[in-house]
Amino acid sequence: MTKLTLGSHPYLLGFDQLERLLERNAKSGNEGYPPFNIEQTSENSYRITLAVAGFAEDDLAITLEDRQLVIRGRQQEDLDGRVFLHRGIAARQFQRSFVLADGVEVGEAVMENGLLHVDLTRVQPDTIVQSIKIKKG
């Protein structure tokens, strides 16, 4: 039996790019750090919140490339001779990736009480009805 994919289904034309996005997201290897929430704040807006306690704004970078939102964190090691008896606060670099749908735009990013909030908005395209003229052959 042949494996049916989005790009090869006869009624789904032009969805091969969606399949590539799904594969890329599955391979991104996002582990559990840092924890995050995704909430819908209105009908057409969302907010991604990452728990980034211990990170300063300068330690974080947010990029958007080819509909993929990437949030990276890297802390500077400044131990200054400190001796830890227990170190339970994670101080490691991370990368979180989120694949955005067409029409989703990244708004502002705000750092608040150890939480990084990234606001997203889905732009509603105008509905266009188009008549296609049939030529005589």
The span from the CA of 38 to the CA of 45, in Å, is 11
The span from the CA of 68 to the CA of 65, in Å, is 5
Looking at residue 124, its pLDDT comes to 83
Q: Which domains does the chain have, with CATH numbers?
A: 32-122 (2.60.40.790)
Segment-wise mean pLDDT, segments of 10 residues, the chain, 137 residues: 62 71 62 90 96 92 93 80 81 88 94 97 88 90
> pTM score, two decimals?
0.70
- Residues in a beta bridge with 95: 72
Residue with tokens 């989703």: 104
Sheet holding 36-42, edge to edge: 36-42, 45-51, 115-122, 104-112
**Amino acid present at 45:** S
The span from the CA of 95 to the CA of 24, in Å, is 14
The two structure tokens encoding residue 25: 């997201």
